[in-house]
Amino acid sequence: MFSEYLQAALSHAEYKQLEDTTWFAEIPGFPGVWANSGTVETCRSELREVLEEWLILKLRDHDPIPKIGGLDLDILGSEAA
């Protein structure tokens, strides 16, 4: 389920090349989840790492997690509360 959620969230990522030619990516609805790197591939990889860490912190702290693609990880966080 966690892997499916990651893929669903990453499929909503928005990428753009900045004036300095680096790549910036973020996922709408996931505040603070963004990456900036020299290549789109590295940016994508960094974005995945940031998303994973963000989700782990949200689960640990029992913070709400957005539903995406019909998937709801918040169920995992609330069970531990």
pLDDT means per 10 residues, the chain with 81 residues, are 92 98 97 98 98 94 90 63 45
Residue with tokens 């990453």: 10
Specify the pLDDT at position 75. 62
Cβ atoms of residues 74 and 64 within 8 Å: yes
Q: How many residues does the chain have?
A: 81
Specify the pLDDT at position 81. 45
**Could you give the 3-state DSSP secondary structure of residue 42?**
helix
Specify the pLDDT at position 80. 46
**Could you give the 3-state DSSP secondary structure of residue 64?**
coil
Structural domains in the chain plus CATH codes: 2-79 (3.30.160.250)
No. of helices (H) and no. of strands (E), the chain = 3, 3
Phi, psi of 34 (to 5 degrees): -155, 165
